[in-house]
Structure 1
C-alpha cells in the first residue's frame, strides 16, 4: 500500500490513500485527481474565491456513495476558512490552493460555486443552465446555438461551457453589477421567448414529467443563492469529465462533453488559456429597464 504524501501549498496538505481508485473508466487514482487539481488551481481559484461553495464528495470513488457538503465540519484544521451561514453555521469558501487540495483529498470531486460573491445581492454575470431531457446532444447543441443567436441579436456577448455531464451553461459577463431581482427578469424573458419561438425544442417546465424530450432552460437557477458547477471542476462521472469552457465555433463544429476530461483539459488550458476570462463585458442596464417597463 502506498504511503501518504504531503503536497506543498500555502500550508502543507497531507494526501491520504493516494492509490485509491476514484474514477473507473479509465482507472484513475486519487493521486492523479489531486495532480489535476494542483495543476489547474490557477484557473479554478479565480472562479471560486469569495463565493460560497458546495461540494459533492465521493470518498470511495464515483461508483460508491456520494453526498453534498456546504458547511465546514467539526475537526477541520484551524487554517480552513469559512463564512457565517444560516444560524451562523460555517459555510465553505476556497480562497487558496491549500484549501482546494484539502477538500479534494477528502474526496470532493465537484465544486459548485455561488453566482454571487459573499454578502452580495448583485449579479456580475447572467447565467443560463441548459439541461437535456434525453441523451440527444444534437438537440442540446441546436438549442444552445439558438440561444447564442438570440443573445447576439440583443447585443450581448456570451460564453459557453460544458456542464461536465450532459448539459451546457451559457454566461454573459457584466460590466456593471445588477441586482438579481433585475437580472432574473432578463433571464426569464429570454427563456420564455426561446420556449415560444422553438416550442418543440425548448421548455421552461419545472416538473420533469412535463418536459418530454425538450431541452430545459433552468431559469430559476439564476439567483444570489444559486450555485453552478465551477469552471474546470471535475464531475463525478466514471470518465472524470470536466466542466470546460468552449468556443461557439467548437460547438458548431461538433465537440461533445466527453471530449473534455482530466486527461485532456490541462494541455488545452495551457494552449488556449482560460476561455472564461472575458475580453469584454456587457452593460445590460438599458435592456433590463425596457423589459421591466413592459413586464
Structure 2
C-alpha cells in the first residue's frame, strides 16, 4: 500500500550543494499505478480517484502501447489545474473534487482539464526502486517521460514532468513571478521513505505578507479573530492560531482579558486596536489559507489596515516598485492601483510574450482623457534594472524582461504595450499576425467571419492559428512560426495571398485598401503591418478605452456571432484566466 513521503516545512532553503529543487504545485497528492491491464489514480489517503479525472486516465491509455516495455510502473506526483506552467489553482481543483456524477465530471474534464505533474517513480519495469537514490529514480522518471513524449512541458496536456532545478536562485524568481505555492528541496541521495515526513525533503512556502486587526479570541481552540477596514466598516479577514511564540500568545490573551469582554464562556471580543502582521497563502471569502502570525505591527493604526493594503500584500509586488498616487484614475473606473494589480496578475503570461522584444509603450500620465505619448527609448530617470538594447539612433530601446520592469512601467502609466514580430536575437519573424479591422464596432461580425476563414486557410497549410481581440473593434489572428522557418519576405507573400483570397471571395465584406476613406463599410485585412520595425499590441495589454478593455486571447469556439469584445476588461480578464486558462499558453513556442 502506497503512502507518500512528505517534506518538512522550513523557512529557508538548505545551504548544502547536494540538493535539487522543484515547484510545489497546489493540488492533490496522487500516485499512478500503471500496469499492462489497468491504470489507477490513488490519493495520499488511499482514495481511488480514477473516475474523478478521466482526462488523465484517457491520455495514459492512449500511450499504453508506447510505454508497454516499461510497465508496470508506479509514479508519484500532484494532480493540479494549472493557470500557468508554475502555478496551480487549488480552488478549482477542490470544486472538481466535489463533483459526483459522471456527466458533470466529463464536462469539467473538457472545459478545464487537470494535469498529473509527475515528480518521482517508485516502481519501474515491475521492480521496486524506492531504495535507489533520488538522482537514479529521476533518471528512470525522465526515461518514462521521454518514452511518452512528455519530457518537455506542454500546457493543456493531462500529463507533465515536474521540472527540476539545481539551484534555489534559479527557481525562486519563477515561483515568485507566477505566485506559485512554494518550492520543494530534495536531497539528491535521498531514498523514498514511504509514509514518513522527513528532512531529506523540505518545503519552502511562497507566503504573502499581510496585516489584520485583532477583534476576538476563542479560548477553546486558541484562534484569534481578525478584521480589516473597508470604508467605515470592519470586515472579517479570518482567523489565525499558528506561528505565535508562547510569550506573544500569552501577551495577546492577557490583553484581551483585560480590555475585552466575553460573548460566551469561551469567546471574547476586544476593541479593534492591535494590528498583527501575518503570512498566508491567500485571503479570500473571510478565510485565511494557511495563516501564521508573523509579528506585531505597532507601527500601524487600525484605520491603516485597509482592503487596499490587504490586496497589495496578496499581490506580492517586488520591493523595487512602489505605487505612486495609487488613487489616481487612469481609466474612468480604474485607479493606478487597480492597473498595477492587474499587470501583476497577468505578468507571467504577458512577460512571456514581450520578453526579448523591443517595446513601444503608449503612456497616459494623467489618464486616458489627457495627454498621451509613445515611448520606445529609455528615459533618463529609469532605474538601473530596466534593460535596453541599442536603437537605430543614439538612444537605447527599451526591453521589459522581468516583473519589476513591467510594474515600473505600469506605475508610470504605460497603458498599451506594442511589440514587433521578432526578438532581438533574430531577424526572422516568430509569428505572423493578421490584423482584422472593421470600420466600427457595429461591423464586428465581419472580423469574426474573416478570422474563421483565415483559420481554415492556415490550417489547410499546416499552421496552427490562435486568435485574440485587439482590445478595440477588431480581432487579430496569430500564427506561430518555427525558428528561422520563414523570412519576413515569405510571410508577406503568404499573408498577401490569404488577404487577396478573402477579398476575391467576399468583395463586399473585405478590403486591402489602405486609405480609410476608400474602404466604405468593409473590413480592412491588414497584412502590410506585418513587417520589420512594425508592431502589434501585446496579448493582455490594456487599450486606452473607457471600459479599460484588454487585448484578450480567445478559444476558437468563442469566435462566433455572440462574441462581444467589450466584455474583456481589466475587471473580467483575471477571473477568466482562472476559470478558463489562456489559449496562448498552448502556442508551440511558448516558454514561461
Judge conservation of contact 1:130–1:169 (CA < 8 Å) in 2.
Answer: yes
**Structural mapping, 1:112-151, within 5 Å:** 112-135=418-441, 136-151=443-458
| Residue in structure 2 matched with residue 162 of structure 1 by the alignment | 469
| Residue in structure 1 matched with residue 19 of structure 2 by the alignment | none
CA positional deviation for 1:120: 1.8
In the alignment, the residues of structure 2 paired with residue 197 and residue 218 of structure 1 have an alpha-carbon distance, to the nearest angstrom, of 17
DSSP 3-state at the match of 1:86:
coil
CA positional deviation for 1:78: 2.0
CA positional deviation for 1:224: 2.6
CA positional deviation for 1:243: 0.4
In the alignment, the residues of structure 1 paired with residue 544 and residue 392 of structure 2 have an alpha-carbon distance, to the nearest angstrom, of 27
CA positional deviation for 1:279: 5.1
In the alignment, the residues of structure 2 paired with residue 165 and residue 29 of structure 1 have an alpha-carbon distance, to the nearest angstrom, of 20
Q: 1:213 aligns with which of 508, 512, 521?
A: 521
Judge conservation of contact 1:157–1:172 (CA < 8 Å) in 2.
Answer: yes
CA positional deviation for 1:8: 5.9
**Structural mapping, 1:43-192, within 5 Å:** 43-135=349-441, 136-177=443-484, 178-192=486-500
Judge conservation of contact 2:361–2:416 (CA < 8 Å) in 1.
Answer: yes
* Greater gyration radius: 2
Query: Any unmatched runs of 5+ in structure 2?
Result: 1-303
Q: 1:276 aligns with which of 560, 581, 584?
A: 584
| Residue in structure 1 matched with residue 544 of structure 2 by the alignment | 236
Q: Deviations over 1:83-127 (max 9, x none)?
A: 110123111110000000111111100011111101421111111
DSSP 3-state at the match of 2:528:
helix
| Residue in structure 1 matched with residue 505 of structure 2 by the alignment | 197
**Structural mapping, 1:225-264, within 5 Å:** 225-252=533-560, 254-264=562-572
C-alpha distance 88-125 of structure 1, shift in aligned 2 (>3 A): same
| Residue in structure 2 matched with residue 39 of structure 1 by the alignment | 345
Judge conservation of contact 1:122–1:224 (CA < 8 Å) in 2.
Answer: no
In the alignment, the residues of structure 2 paired with residue 232 and residue 105 of structure 1 have an alpha-carbon distance, to the nearest angstrom, of 17
TM (normalized to structure 1)? 0.88
C-alpha distance 180-234 of structure 1, shift in aligned 2 (>3 A): same
Judge conservation of contact 2:358–2:420 (CA < 8 Å) in 1.
Answer: yes
DSSP 3-state at the match of 2:415:
strand
CA positional deviation for 1:253: 5.4
DSSP 3-state at the match of 2:586:
coil
In the alignment, the residues of structure 2 paired with residue 22 and residue 109 of structure 1 have an alpha-carbon distance, to the nearest angstrom, of 8
CA positional deviation for 1:183: 1.3
CA positional deviation for 1:248: 1.6
Judge conservation of contact 2:331–2:545 (CA < 8 Å) in 1.
Answer: yes
TM (normalized to structure 2)? 0.45
**Which structure: greater strand fraction?**
2
In the alignment, the residues of structure 1 paired with residue 446 and residue 555 of structure 2 have an alpha-carbon distance, to the nearest angstrom, of 18
Query: Any unmatched runs of 5+ in structure 1?
Result: 282-295
In the alignment, the residues of structure 1 paired with residue 561 and residue 394 of structure 2 have an alpha-carbon distance, to the nearest angstrom, of 49
In the alignment, the residues of structure 1 paired with residue 404 and residue 556 of structure 2 have an alpha-carbon distance, to the nearest angstrom, of 34
Judge conservation of contact 1:241–1:262 (CA < 8 Å) in 2.
Answer: yes
C-alpha distance 197-190 of structure 1, shift in aligned 2 (>3 A): same
Give the number of the structure with larger relative contact order, counting CA–CA contacts within 8 Å between residues 6 or more apart.
Answer: 1
1:18 aligns to 2:326 (yes or no): yes
Q: Deviations over 1:210-258 (max 9, x none)?
A: 1111110111111232111000111111111000011121112512111
Judge conservation of contact 1:195–1:203 (CA < 8 Å) in 2.
Answer: yes
In the alignment, the residues of structure 2 paired with residue 231 and residue 189 of structure 1 have an alpha-carbon distance, to the nearest angstrom, of 26
DSSP 3-state at the match of 1:13:
coil
C-alpha distance 188-11 of structure 1, shift in aligned 2 (>3 A): farther
In the alignment, the residues of structure 1 paired with residue 461 and residue 523 of structure 2 have an alpha-carbon distance, to the nearest angstrom, of 22
DSSP 3-state at the match of 1:88:
coil
Aligned residue pair count: 278
In the alignment, the residues of structure 2 paired with residue 279 and residue 47 of structure 1 have an alpha-carbon distance, to the nearest angstrom, of 11
Q: 1:28 aligns with which of 328, 334, 357?
A: 334
DSSP 3-state at the match of 2:574:
helix
In the alignment, the residues of structure 2 paired with residue 211 and residue 119 of structure 1 have an alpha-carbon distance, to the nearest angstrom, of 38
In the alignment, the residues of structure 1 paired with residue 426 and residue 394 of structure 2 have an alpha-carbon distance, to the nearest angstrom, of 17
